[in-house]
Amino acid sequence: MCLDRLIPFDYGRALKYPRRAAIIRVLMSKKTFIAVDLGAGSGRVIAAITDSSKIVLEELHRFDNPGTDLPGGSFWNSIGLYREILEGLRRAVELHGDSIISIGIDTWGCDFGLLGPDGGLLGLPHQYRDPRFNGMAEAMHALMPEVEIYAHTGLKTNFYNTSLHLLAEAKKNSPALREAERLLFMPDLLAYWLTGRQACERTVASTSQLLDPRTGEWARDVIKALGLPDKIFGEIVAPGTVLGPVREEVAAIIGKAGIPVVATACHDTASAVAGIPMEGMGSLWLSSGTWSIMGIESPEAITTEVAYQLGFCNELGVNDSIRFLKNISGLWLLQECKRQWELDGKPLDFAAMSKLAEAAEPFSAFINPDDPAFANAGGMPGKIQAWCKKTGQAVPQDPGAVLRVATDSLALKYRMVFESIKSLTGRDFQRLHAGGGGIQNEALSQATANALGIEVMAGPVEATSCGNVITQMIGTGHLADLQAGRELIHRSFDFKTYQPQDTAAWDAAYASAKELLTRIC
């Protein structure tokens, strides 16, 4: 085992350092769980090494996951992703061998592959930003009113929902849809290639707008109303289900047979929420990444008229919970600014961007991060400037000002969602639990505490991988339940707390932002 990949120091002196000594103890009595974590830009294979008192994460393999525009649409290179996963698993076996207990895969939601009668993939999976969704919301609501779809599925219609993309295929009489025998979401497709079992994991299926959150089964009335082939919607399994061992062909490539693949919490947000160590149902959480997603864990779906009007969704989580949530644009704005400046020959890293934002004048303008103007890639700084000009505000002129507008606007949009959650649930909250890569942006984390007026507890950064791992541990009998898993995470990672500051100024900015949105809507 390659210890220096994890802890580059003199092991003979390890006991002089309590934290490092704890890591050594983990390694000496270890069990290893492999988390495959795929995002809409990159993917990783991570080894989670644990002795059940702490978890140590080791990144084994990182790779890009760029979408590709081809004639006919925007696609994912699913076969390339599978090959990268196999390489990551090969490295895992090489380094950790017999200590490997299981493998779990999580990805973004909604996107899917279609399988033919022979189990073969019928074309590359499309990206959820593929423009085939254009016009499909109106077409779907003509077949079944949106409020009725919401009553069945708990989801408002969004451009990325599986429902719209399948309807687009049906409208054009797609040969792939005509021939398909089974639909599998991205993590299910990759797990099928590893194991040979075709099953849809429940948390990722719940992002489709084709699943009933109350029963955890397909919303057959919606499927029928949209004219989609009923036969493609097959077995649904709960998070933590052991799908089976890797296929012989896979074992030959990675160097080890019999490793079980677990249908973990396969939607990355479901894994992220599981991986944030909250206490009790109803805790307020934020999964911070390309998308920011704020919500609570609820024992039941909330599908009231007000929840529908405000655009809240009910997706499924670990432990039979409902993730009552709202999607917010998130770090997409900052990532796209960074990418544009790199293309312009003026690169900035995220640390420099954060400093520029902090130094700029606060509250000079406000944008709606969820405006369709910001949904597509390209030219983000110019789009922010154009939105400010269009709405009669001061136009940010330099990168620091643009970044400050984006950061303040995200925090104020979080406040809007926060106020809606309080209103819908009748509950007050004293703390927001935030996890994911976005919490590394300390300026945004502090702005979030300021805007909401409550404490923000940030951690872990690797919330998605942590949730993936503890769901595997529950499914394989190595943890009793979700609470035990969250306690394990809390013991294993560092957390940072942000206290609200300048709340009067943020309250005034919030009132101004609400007034602006009311005026332009």
Distance, CA of 495 to CA of 486 (rounded, Å): 13
Q: Which two tokens stand for residue 272?
A: 């992220």
User: Of all helices (H) and strands (E), which one includes residue 204?
Assistant: helix 202-205
Report in angstroms the alpha-carbon separations of 323 from 214, 295, 297.
12, 7, 5
Q: Which two tokens stand for residue 29?
A: 């009595």
Q: What are phi and psi of 315, to 5 degrees?
A: -115, 160
| 227: three-class secondary structure by DSSP | coil
Residues in the chain: 521
User: Which positions are catalytic?
Assistant: 268
**Contact by Cβ (8 Å): 188, 199:** yes
Q: Which two tokens stand for residue 84?
A: 């990268």
Could you tell me which of 342, 362, 363 has the C-alpha nearest to residue 352? 342
Could you tell me which of 314, 246, 290 has the C-alpha nearest to residue 436? 290
Query: Cα angle vertex 471, ends 466, 476, to 5°?
Result: 125
Beta bridge partners of 328: 292
Burial of 325 (0-12, 13-18, 19+ CB in 10 A): buried
